[in-house]
Structure 1
Amino acid sequence: MNRRSSFLLLAALFCSPSLAHGERLDTVIDSLLARGYSSPLAAVARLQAVEDSPADDAPLAQRHLYQAAIGRYAAQERRPAMAALAQQASAALEKMARDEQCRACAVDQHLIQARWALTQRDADRAQAMLDRIDSRREELSSLQRQQLHYLRARQYQLQSRLDMGIREALLADELSGRHEADRLMAQNLLAVLNVYLGDYRRTIEISKATHARAARLGFTQAVAEAKLNMGFAHLRSGRRDLQLQLLGDVLALTRGDDGLAIIQSTAVSNLADYWLNQRDYRRALDYSEQAVELAGRIDDPLTLAYALVNRGASKAGLGQIEAGVADATEAIALTERIGARTDHIGMLQELVNIHEHAGDYRNAFLALRRVETLQQEITRQAREKAVLDLQEKYASESRQREIERLAAANRLKEAELAAQALRRQLWAAFSLALVLLAVVLVQWLRRSRRANLRLSRDVADLAEQSTHDPLTRVFNRRHGHALLAGYARAVDACAPGAPPSLGLMLLDIDFFKQVNDNHGHPAGDKVLVEVAQRLRALLREQDSVVRWGGEEFLLLLPGLQATALPALADRLLRTIGAPAIALPDKDITLTASIGAISAPFAGSTDIDALIQLADLALYRAKASGRNRALCIAARQEALDPAALARDLAAAQQAGQIGMTVVPGPSRNAG
């Protein structure tokens, strides 16, 4: 279908008598966030039908609200009519930000551009947009923060940074509040990330719960996506029979709803792939023809590319080799044109399979060489980007350290100047004492002693501030790095093959944001101080507690072996959980999540890599329900911690590492 036809289709939907005319803008937006929608197309149509659609001279707040909502839902589809609406909304928000100094408009404009980039599968451009928003995080509303974390999770999914994606999806879920539709979208994304991690059981559990809640709300898109995710998990786990049943359910749900044509086309393409796997090429061709027709109707090139490559494989299976090669070649050209690199490689691989099926090994080899070249290029670019990111991070941290060093140096310099001035006054007083009464000398000496005492206290305060967190009085992150550097020096000084052991625990207070939101920041500060005191009281004198982040603490435990981690983690969880902390309005009981590891780990003393592993264990503990600790132990020698961090789940499944789960104390409901 051409571009003009797409605009006519959207206009026809907007003019449909089924739209609920007479609704107000704020009512519609609240309903979309709380109950969802049948499709993004229907959401946009409902917004455009409101009775108080803002004119150009309407108040800024109303125009901002309207354009941000239109852009959010329109940017979820590639069809030209929706893409045009998204860009119009983005341009309107940019103009409001520039001409009317609307800072929230600028944030929503970047959110729309990031969402549109993700719809186009351009993760790098989305990341650039989201980085801009991150730089002004303190200005964001709760809804904008939720969208930021959700879009970050989608960015990490496209970049195959799955652990980071799960972390962001969990944050998006936690920030959803009463916006049930946003929560269901975050949980559907969490299910996708888990299936790529190979945790099919968790994917199915999440998808079943999401499907049930979405069905009760009438949130059709979330229902269809949950069924697709369950089908994907069953496919990966070898249960193609269950996948076939779920794909049939998706078709029944989406048939006749043009707003869900992308999901319907995806389901039909998956059915074509199913029958290709069964070698029923005639049935596979029927489904792929349907998918091509659906993709053409919505003018979505990526969806069309998948439909074409399935049709090409079906034709090749039926002996129509030239026609199959033509379809696959067209799919390859489409993915190359839109810059979908990962999908482009997949299409090339299908072309290799078609040539091999026909016995054309020369062309199969040439196509395979293209696959290898592209994979090497992607790997090279990813490596270069990682190096640049690390360099920028190092430069930023170096600048911050230099600023802190200069500030401390200035303060010490001021103290030295004060001391010099005081000494000059002291000598002047001594000279005058030769001609003045003894009482004058006594007075000056008293003043000198008081000033020196103040100077001593100032110097002590400066030393304290440079190493300790001002709120909790435990060590700050800067001093934590100094302690870790001390361990590295101890490793270098020890005998070969016998490095000293060091336990590492990363501890994060569960649901700490809710404490701030429900009881106020002074209550949150009291909670942090109480947790720090409990940690110091429980640990040994030689152990160190470091405030590593906002509500995150790093425990450095010299001499602690990996076998002792679970017992200590159990004591920590119980100590944090009892007794309850008294706040002005009510008493609260805390829980925490912990990731733990001990150096040396499989012979490695790379502290940075081991802390990263502990951090991954911490987030897996949070993802699996919080109020627990995950202790990592090596089961093989000579492992590379940095390599393990890239896929912790795979390392566990391969038996390279073991993870002991230590549950926290149970909590009574309510």
Structure 2
Amino acid sequence: MSRASVFTKAESPVPARARAMPACAGWLLSLSLLGLTACQPGVPEPDASNRAQQTSGKNTQTEQQDPIWDELERVEREGRSHPAASEHVLHEMQPRTAPGSLARVQLLALRGYLSTEMRDAALTASIIKDLEEWPNEANRRAANLALIYIRARQQRFSDGLRQAERTMAPLAGYTVQETGPLLLLRCHDFLSFVQSETGDVDAAIANATEALRLADAIGKPWRRAQTLSNLAFIYHQAQQLDLARQFSDKSLAEVDQDPSPALLYDIYTMRGIVLQTLGLMDGAQQAKQAALDAARQAGSDTLTSLALGNFADFHLNQGRYSQALKFADEALALALATQHIDYELLARHNRGIAKIGLRRVEEGKREVLAALARDEQRGADTIVANAWLELGMHLERAGDLSAAVEAFHQHRRKIDKVLRDETRKTLLEIQESYEDERRAKEIELLNRDNSLKTEQLRARDLQLRLWAALGGCIVLSAVLLGLAYQRIRKTNRALAHSNAALKMASERDPLTGLANRRHFQAAIKRLADKGMLSGTVFLIDIDHFKRINDQHGHAAGDTVLIEIARRLQATLRDEDLVVRWGGEEFLILVETREVSYASTLAQRLLDQIAAPTVRHGAQHIPVTASIGFASFPVAPHEVAVNWERAIDLVDTVMYLAKAHGRNKAYGIESMQASDEDGLQELAKGMEAAWQSGQVQLLTLNGPARFEESRL
């Protein structure tokens, strides 16, 4: 696994551990993000006097013209390379800054960054005390922001990522007039890093974009280069690879205007990650070597540790396990020496994967699981999900199939949780938008109604005064009422149309046009009796889909997904339900429970997916899939289960199909269990239960001419 300066994860032809992600995965932003932009949001205290805020806003621009700001910038740029020496320089510089000044805030913020980087609790406590005892109202808001930044960094390094995110939440309430652009820039950078590690990619992009706007306003090329590189990493995590490469190219062009070893390290590290994900291995290796050279030129053990960890990941992805283990051992020694928990976990993870590749499976598995447990304690859900996926794939390659199946199950549980959280957030945003629109329309209708009532009152007044005009007033009132009625009807029709379109869009996958999970959860109610599923479930996973993306490009991968979706729809009946379940997986639900029908349909699905090849431009791409299926309630004892348990069972046999060579369909014919707990016990050891006869499985093979050799 590799990381950008904050620990980014580079995906590779064989999925590697994504420390921080999404489709998904890796660690988000970079330590450079922390280093070059060490920021500090703080909880805003109760509103200070208006006079103090106005004074702070007027003096901010003038104060930043003091030469001491240039000295602070020089320390900031290289501080992460040599934190102890930089802290000494700042300590000696502090008496030259006026108490209560914005320069003092900036200096304390940088010292707080360095003290937390060095894990110096006593020094950090002293800096926090200085900020808590701020001497005057001028720049108090900026001091509060610096205070919270330092506290959030403490939480981040004590495995409290989500706590750090909550601490940073008040950032939106601060303005550049109160804090100056530098402090606000660092705060948005740091918050985007924390959000990327916890899996909130949308919020991370928003904060990184605001940081780029502030960097543009400041006008320093090195700050702009750093922020562009951070955005490249976040878009990489969001699987927007074209945008990631564009921002990486821009950051490389920008850094040439004002280079430094630490900054070059950050830029080349991020570039290596993006190029590796795109499958451009020569360019990725050159970028990673340039990053390692820059780290050594900077003389920083911290940066060198991370660069070595990234090189270890690169060799893992190339199958060079001995070299990967060598680099990981060097990285671990430096990480332990610098007491950097993130780099230590990265090195331990890569060591474990390398040992698995060298057939030291149990030893390697223990080391990976220990690192994974620490990440789970930190609340880095996306990192944990992708770590399980990488572990499963390497265990499968090493021949430990039962452990691989369990790792894939853990990956599915974790990624499903992340997807559920993201879906819930999206639905709440859609609902809020709908409610805002509805309230606006109600206000508009109320205003129209008030206008109508006013006209009626005027008509009545005219009736009393001018009897001669009575007839005309009645006609006028009728016309106004008719127009209002017609407009209300038109508005209601438009609102109904918008609601129907919103419902349709929320239940369809935008790429394939198939139903999505939300539609499935609504449809399952008609096939479930008291929550128990009745019917046959098929779970389909396209074989080696990541390799298709790596060899042919992501556009070709999208073409494959669209074509497979079309073939599935053509194979099924109108009443059957086909769902894009996530990534390269599809789920099919049919009401029929007959074993013969399920077996025939599974064979037909294998054949339809595999033949003919998928055409993308001039390329002809062979595609196969692994399928798991079962009918519910489960024979022979007719054990009823809910739909989540049913999908877990089908998922288990689908992974058996993958473990036994792919391009196969495995179906549950019967399970010797009389209740749901018995089913669960058999499912935990499905392979062994099958061999002992407690589980009867149907096994079907796809067309042999399209079968691919296993990775």
Output the TM-score relative to the length of structure 2: 0.50
Is residue 649 of structure 2 the alignment partner of residue 606 of structure 1? no
User: The residue matched to 2:93 in structure 1 has which SS?
Assistant: coil
Is residue 210 of structure 2 the alignment partner of residue 171 of structure 1? yes
Question: What residue in structure 2 maps to residue 29 of structure 1?
Answer: 69
2:196 to 157, 160, 168: 157
1:131 to 165, 169, 190: 169
1:47 to 52, 76, 90: 90
Say if 1:309 and 1:327, in contact at 8 Å, map to a contact too: yes
Say if 1:269 and 1:287, in contact at 8 Å, map to a contact too: yes
Question: What residue in structure 2 maps to residue 654 of structure 1?
Answer: 558
Say if 1:36 and 1:218, in contact at 8 Å, map to a contact too: no
CA distance in 1, matches of 2:190, 2:490: 36
Question: What residue in structure 1 maps to residue 258 of structure 2?
Answer: 217
Is residue 494 of structure 2 the alignment partner of residue 487 of structure 1? yes
Taking a change above 3 Å as real, the CA distance of residues 229 and 286 of structure 1, as seen in their structure-2 partners, is: same
Within a 5 Å distance, the mapping from 1:210-249 to structure 2 comes to 210-249=251-290
Is residue 2 of structure 2 the alignment partner of residue 106 of structure 1? no
Say if 2:325 and 2:354, in contact at 8 Å, map to a contact too: yes
Question: What residue in structure 2 maps to residue 93 of structure 1?
Answer: 131
- Larger relative contact order (CA 8 Å, sep ≥ 6): 2
* Residues 581-623 of structure 1: CA deviation (Å, up to 9, x unaligned): xxxxxxxxxxxxxxxxxxxxxxx7329979xx9xxxxxxxxxx
Within a 5 Å distance, the mapping from 1:266-277 to structure 2 comes to 266-277=306-317
- Superposition deviation, residue 189 in structure 1: 0.8
CA distance in 1, matches of 2:517, 2:385: 30
CA distance in 2, matches of 1:379, 1:97: 47
1:230 maps to amino acid: R
Say if 2:226 and 2:267, in contact at 8 Å, map to a contact too: no
* Residues 79-122 of structure 1: CA deviation (Å, up to 9, x unaligned): 413x7655643453244399989223223333444566667786
Question: What residue in structure 1 maps to residue 379 of structure 2?
Answer: 339
User: The residue matched to 2:67 in structure 1 has which SS?
Assistant: helix
Say if 1:331 and 1:347, in contact at 8 Å, map to a contact too: no
Taking a change above 3 Å as real, the CA distance of residues 47 and 219 of structure 1, as seen in their structure-2 partners, is: farther
Say if 1:25 and 1:51, in contact at 8 Å, map to a contact too: no
Taking a change above 3 Å as real, the CA distance of residues 61 and 635 of structure 1, as seen in their structure-2 partners, is: closer
User: The residue matched to 1:175 in structure 2 has which SS?
Assistant: helix
Is residue 288 of structure 2 the alignment partner of residue 288 of structure 1? no
2:279 maps to amino acid: G
Taking a change above 3 Å as real, the CA distance of residues 154 and 101 of structure 1, as seen in their structure-2 partners, is: closer
* Residues 107-138 of structure 1: CA deviation (Å, up to 9, x unaligned): 33334445666677866445434431213548
Taking a change above 3 Å as real, the CA distance of residues 298 and 391 of structure 1, as seen in their structure-2 partners, is: farther
Is residue 77 of structure 2 the alignment partner of residue 70 of structure 1? no
- Superposition deviation, residue 199 in structure 1: 5.1
Question: What residue in structure 1 maps to residue 291 of structure 2?
Answer: 250
- Superposition deviation, residue 211 in structure 1: 3.4
User: The residue matched to 1:50 in structure 2 has which SS?
Assistant: helix
Is residue 224 of structure 2 the alignment partner of residue 183 of structure 1? yes
- Superposition deviation, residue 229 in structure 1: 1.4
Taking a change above 3 Å as real, the CA distance of residues 190 and 118 of structure 1, as seen in their structure-2 partners, is: farther
- Superposition deviation, residue 53 in structure 1: 5.0
Say if 1:195 and 1:233, in contact at 8 Å, map to a contact too: yes
CA distance in 1, matches of 2:491, 2:160: 39
- Superposition deviation, residue 187 in structure 1: 0.9
Say if 2:229 and 2:251, in contact at 8 Å, map to a contact too: yes
* Residues 377-433 of structure 1: CA deviation (Å, up to 9, x unaligned): 44444455556677788899999999x99x999x99xx99x99xxx9xxx9xxxxxx
Taking a change above 3 Å as real, the CA distance of residues 151 and 228 of structure 1, as seen in their structure-2 partners, is: same
What 5-or-longer segments of structure 1 have no aligned partner?
A: 1-23, 428-478, 493-603, 614-633, 644-648, 658-670
Identity %: 21
Output the TM-score relative to the length of structure 1: 0.52
* Residues 468-488 of structure 1: CA deviation (Å, up to 9, x unaligned): xxxxxxxxxxx9xx9987633
Question: What residue in structure 2 maps to residue 10 of structure 1?
Answer: none
User: The residue matched to 2:95 in structure 1 has which SS?
Assistant: coil
Question: What residue in structure 2 maps to residue 361 of structure 1?
Answer: 401
Structure 1, 266-275 or 338-347: larger mean CA deviation: 338-347
Within a 5 Å distance, the mapping from 1:530-541 to structure 2 comes to none
- Superposition deviation, residue 358 in structure 1: 4.8
Say if 2:198 and 2:380, in contact at 8 Å, map to a contact too: no
Say if 1:25 and 1:53, in contact at 8 Å, map to a contact too: no
| Equivalenced residues, count | 442
Taking a change above 3 Å as real, the CA distance of residues 606 and 68 of structure 1, as seen in their structure-2 partners, is: same
Say if 2:225 and 2:250, in contact at 8 Å, map to a contact too: no
- Superposition deviation, residue 303 in structure 1: 1.5
Taking a change above 3 Å as real, the CA distance of residues 198 and 347 of structure 1, as seen in their structure-2 partners, is: closer
Is residue 272 of structure 2 the alignment partner of residue 376 of structure 1? no
Taking a change above 3 Å as real, the CA distance of residues 31 and 331 of structure 1, as seen in their structure-2 partners, is: same
CA distance in 2, matches of 1:486, 1:156: 41
- Superposition deviation, residue 281 in structure 1: 2.2
- Superposition deviation, residue 362 in structure 1: 3.2
- Superposition deviation, residue 188 in structure 1: 1.1
* Residues 18-42 of structure 1: CA deviation (Å, up to 9, x unaligned): xxxxxx9953433554896124326
Question: What residue in structure 2 maps to residue 192 of structure 1?
Answer: 233
Is residue 248 of structure 2 the alignment partner of residue 207 of structure 1? yes
Structure 1, 243-252 or 323-332: larger mean CA deviation: 323-332
Cα RMSD (Å): 5.4
Question: What residue in structure 2 maps to residue 463 of structure 1?
Answer: none
1:109 maps to amino acid: L
Taking a change above 3 Å as real, the CA distance of residues 254 and 635 of structure 1, as seen in their structure-2 partners, is: closer
Question: What residue in structure 2 maps to residue 19 of structure 1?
Answer: none
